[in-house]
């Protein structure tokens, strides 16, 4: 049943207020101004009822998280932690972070045990499927400390593409970062959209610059920022909107 015809559910202005968009009164003004859409259709009537678990709500074209049972958090995974909820070898795993939340969360994709940085935990299966699927080409940005002095020609090779055992691969962007490097090492920022196993380490090994340290700083529109290692936080409304927009665009392109 379209949201405009629902006899049950919650009033849209109440749902928007609960999502932190605006007060109920201000939400009614947003609706009256034609800035709110439900399932792609502009809604102006304040009596409209929606089902937060089913209906998709957007303000000014940006999706709004209205289902309180769905949760996605950013985790700064430390090194030495396995990207699984239970490790059969008894190593530290993600359960210690997921257990902080009432919802049963799982990880979106993986980071190597020796790689730190941004990892998503969620209970939204649709979101996880889209973000993890290689066809959507979600970009990831890494900071890598590598052995040796990286030359401009090596950066060019990484951008143009190199051949690995499982096929060719190219970085979307790669650059040398000034400062921060240790003696005999170079600090690189590398962005790519591949989800292949240990792909950054294998790429840099292939061009003669093995990785000393590796951290993922960005995942699609999300940034790790100054979140300390071992800490996690909920997505902001803006981050959720950006992520949901990315997911919706990816679905439309399929």
99 tagged catalytic: no
Write down the catalytic residue from 112, 114, 147, 172.
112
CA–chain centroid gap for 151, Å, is 31
- Per DSSP, the residues of the chain read --GGG-SSSEEHHHHHHHTTSS-HHHHHHHHHTT-EEETTEE---TT-EE-TTT--EEETTEEE---TT--EEEEEEPTT--SSSS-TT----THHHHTTSSS--EEES---TTEEEEEEEES-HHHHHHHH-GGG---EEEEEEEES---HHHHHHHHH-EEETTEEE--SEEEEPSS-PPTTEEEEEEEE----TTHHHHHHHHTT--EEEEEEEEETTEE-TTPPTT-EEEPPHHHHHHHHHHHHHHHHH-
Residues that are catalytic: 112
């Amino acid at each position: 049943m379209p949201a405009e015809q629902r006899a049950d559910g919650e009033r849209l202005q109440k749902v928007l207020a609960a999502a932190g968009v605006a007060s109920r009164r201000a939400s009614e003004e947003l609706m009256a101004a034609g800035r709110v859409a439900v399932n792609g259709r502009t809604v102006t009537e304040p009596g409209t009822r929606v089902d937060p678990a089913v209906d998709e709500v957007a303000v000014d074209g940006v999706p709004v998280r209205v289902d309180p049972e769905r949760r996605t958090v950013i985790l700064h995974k430390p090194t030495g932690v396995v990207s699984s909820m239970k490790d059969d070898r008894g190593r530290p795993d993600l359960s210690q972070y997921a257990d902080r939340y009432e919802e049963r969360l799982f990880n979106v994709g993986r980071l190597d045990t020796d790689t730190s940085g941004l990892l998503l935990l969620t209970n939204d299966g649709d979101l996880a499927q889209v973000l993890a699927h290689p066809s959507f080409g979600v970009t990831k940005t890494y900071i890598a400390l590598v052995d040796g002095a990286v030359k401009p020609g090596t950066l060019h090779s990484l951008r143009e593409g190199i051949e690995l055992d499982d096929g060719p691969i190219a970085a979307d962007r790669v650059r040398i970062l000034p400062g921060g490097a240790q003696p005999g090492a170079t600090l690189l920022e590398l962005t790519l959209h591949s989800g292949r196993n240990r792909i950054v380490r294998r790429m840099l090994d292939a061009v003669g610059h093995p990785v000393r340290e590796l951290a993922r700083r960005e995942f699609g529109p999300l940034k790790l920022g100054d979140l300390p290692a071992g800490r996690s936080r909920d997505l902001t409304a803006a981050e959720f909107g950006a992520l949901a927009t990315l997911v919706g665009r990816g679905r439309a392109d399929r």
